[in-house]
Structure 1
Amino acid sequence: MSERRTARHRTAQPRTAPSGDGVAEAARDEARTYRHGEDRPLRGYVLVMAVFAALVAGAAGLVAASGRRLPHGIGPWDLLLITAGTHKLARTLSKDAVTSPIRVPFTRYSGTGGPAEVMEDARTASGVRHAIGELVTCPFCLDMWIATGFAFGHVFAPRVTRLVAATFTALAGADFLQLLYARGQQAAGA
């Protein structure tokens, strides 16, 4: 038995950590497998996530360095303002025709969308440009960035943050009223 153990011991290769090239190749293989033939800008996504993490870490560092304290909680009224304000600001930045010049470097116009909205496709010239294009045309994606900004705004400048959030909340409410009014006019004319 000891001969068998010795023979197995000699043939077993010691496990070593992959080299830098091996790790990079493994990451590329995983990315190819994930993409499954589709154009997915994973490196761009990593950069966008890194920028978001750096901004959050920087803001958290400013909170700590300034000696500010986090609020004990966010009241229901502030939560409502931040929620509705986030919704409207995300749609304004990602869909409004008037804000399309902000998106031009990362998107291509593809048609009209909902009332006063445009549809755009992310440009695919580079992975980073594509990832940013997807971010700036997706209100759901922008929600995270905007809500985080409102949260830190609530720490640094709560009065200004409430005013900005309340303004966008009022715009969201006005949009819904405009849609209800238009539906009422259609029903009356039908």
Structure 2
Amino acid sequence: MASERQQPPYSTYAALVGVFAAGMAGVGALATAGGRRPEQLTALDLAVLSAATFKAARTVAHDEVLSFLREPFVQGEAHEGDEKPVETGDARQAIGELLTCSRCIGMWAAAGVIGLHTIAPRSGRLLTWSLAAAGANDFLQAAFSALTAKANEVEERTG
């Protein structure tokens, strides 16, 4: 007997889009009330915000430190970083899909980082540059590991 696949949780998807839109509208209203103008960001700001968003999204979707956030919404235990969302057809599934997809949660992370950067520039810069530096560290660590592995491989071949 073929198992029935749950219908995607469209109503929860719509609710999440609504929450996102309301959050963005709220940030826009606060920015306007505070005289903040996010369009004054520079190319450097965009690069740093991009790196910060990358790191924040990867941390939420894959890192052990935030596995407790993913745990209620995934199959099995949330400690490996490659969990599958539960297929319940309800809000748990939709939230699980959001939290386990770095591209999906990346949009929320970007909105949060740019929102904080706009509303509270000093705190926003502190968080943004910290996350960006951590993201750069991830790339440097990966590059170092790859370079070391390649050097070891060459040494073994010529050895």
One fold, TM greater than 0.5?
Answer: yes
Count of residue pairs brought into register by the alignment:
149
Instruction: Tell me the SS of whatever aligns to 1:140.
Output: helix
Contact 2:71 2:78 in 1 (8 A): no
Moved over 4 A (4+): 109-112
Residues 1:119 and 2:82 are matched in the alignment: yes
What letter matches 1:79 in structure 2? L
- 1:130 maps to 93
- 2:109 maps to 146
Unaligned runs of 5+ in 2: 154-159
Q: CA shift at 1:144, angstroms?
A: 1.2
What letter matches 1:55 in structure 2? G
Q: Normalization by structure 2: what TM-score?
A: 0.83
Relative to structure 2, which stretch is displaced further, 87-96 or 66-75? 66-75
Select 2:16's aligned residue among 24, 48, 63. Answer: 48
- 1:63 maps to 31
Radius of gyration: which is bigger?
Answer: 1
Alignment of 1:5-44 (within 5 A): 39-44=7-12
Equivalent pairs: percent with the same residue?
36
Q: Normalization by structure 1: what TM-score?
A: 0.70
**Inter-partner Cα distance in structure 2 for 1:85 and 1:79:** 10
Instruction: Tell me the SS of whatever aligns to 2:65.
Output: coil
Select 2:75's aligned residue among 108, 111, 116. Answer: 108
Report the structure, 1 or 2, having the larger helix content.
2
Unaligned runs of 5+ in 1: 1-36
- 1:91 maps to 58
Report the structure, 1 or 2, having the larger strand content.
1
RMSD (Å), alpha carbons: 2.1
